[in-house]
Amino acid sequence: MSVDPQALVGRSVTVAVPATIANLGAGYDVLGLAIELHNELRVAIDGVAASGAGAIAYRCFGAGEGELPGDRRNLAVDAVYRGLTAAGVAGADRLSVTIEATNRIPLARGLGSSAAAIVAGLCAGAALAHGAAPGPAVDALSDELLDRLFAAADELEGHPDNVAAALFGGLVASGRHDGLLTARVVDVPDDAVPVVLVPDVRLDTAAMRAALPKGVSLDDAVHNASRLALGIAALHANDVRGFALLADDRLHQAARARRYPALPSLLDAATNAGATSACLAGSGSSVLAIVDDATGGDEAIEAVIVALNEAAERAKVGGGAEQYEIDHDGARVVAYSGA
């Protein structure tokens, strides 16, 4: 059913979306993990242009401030209008909006900043169209609308791993089955504790993808398929060591290490300090380590943080490591106002 854009004037919404870590090693372009580090996007509908496109007032605080464009070249801004359209708003482009982005997820570090921008904009647009009580988007929006938003996010991002985790939360496996985009949440043991090193170094996603080989050997393909299957099975059995199986990758990390030579020493530092696993976060530059809280507790977590910080200093990539919780909610409506 078509939604009259005039009915949206005066409405506003704030959406929070988590950072996400793709691949986890062997799950290249398939797995994504959401962590408790969030961007927020507030969108208010100011009016409807009599003709042509509506006005856009955009402000950014935090990551990307003074760097990100304030028009539809900005992923979040563009996604707001796409979300409105996906939710059935006729002539959504005519809406004038004020958008404020509070970005805590650093850019170009492998933590899903582009996915967060896309999912935040899509969910904000959809929530403005239909109204939404505060809470996870999976509860606030209909399943049919969520499917449309997921498909739009995949189209904008070019792969579903980060956007699936950003939208649904937790550890998510995603892909296409019989041409249909699908996602499934994977069980994660409660004792799995993410520790993330976020270097100062930025790595361009497109350049890091371009570094990958055009083909792989059958042996390497079988190796990764086995690690993906065995790793997920172990996690379902409440075994944190499933993350170590997932981290055993032969498809992309070695190729990316040639462009990011600090990577092997960072991974070794984490595992030598007691981490169950360590892998490149997305296309980098961040590194994800998983610590088993049941076997090491706070001392093991701190040891991995110290080891990663020392390794980053030796490798001259800067930044710092920190413990995070897994975000199980995904995108959330924080506040909504309007009829």
Instruction: Kindly tell me if the per-residue pLDDT of 32 is higher than 80.
Output: yes
Model confidence at 281, in pLDDT bands (50, 70, 90)? very high
Rounded percentage of the chain residues whose pLDDT exceeds 70: 100
**Mean of pLDDT values over 213-239:** 96
Instruction: Kindly tell me if the per-residue pLDDT of 307 is higher than 80.
Output: yes
Strands 95-103 and 56-62: parallel
Closest CA to 185 of 175, 171, 197, 199: 171
Please state, rounded to an integer, the average pLDDT across all residues of the chain: 95
The ranges of the chain annotated as CATH 3.30.70.890 are 192-323
Closest CA to 21 of 157, 112, 113: 112
The ranges of the chain annotated as CATH 3.30.230.10 are 5-187+326-337
Token digits of residue 14? 């704030």
- pTM exceeds 0.85, yes or no: yes
What fold is seen in the domain 5-187+326-337?
Answer: Ribosomal Protein S5; domain 2 (3.30.230)
Given a contact cutoff of 8 angstroms between Cβ atoms, the answer to whether 126 and 149 are in contact is yes
Strands 277-280 and 287-292: antiparallel
Model confidence at 167, in pLDDT bands (50, 70, 90)? very high
Rg of the chain, C-alpha, whole Å: 20
Model pLDDT for residues 56-78, shown as the tens digit of each residue: 999 999 999 999 999 999 999 99
Query: What is the CATH superfamily name and number for domain 192-323?
Result: GHMP kinase, C-terminal domain (3.30.70.890)
Instruction: Kindly tell me if the per-residue pLDDT of 1 is higher than 70.
Output: no
Instruction: Kindly tell me if the per-residue pLDDT of 265 is higher than 80.
Output: yes
Task: For residue 70, list its beta bridge partners.
Answer: none
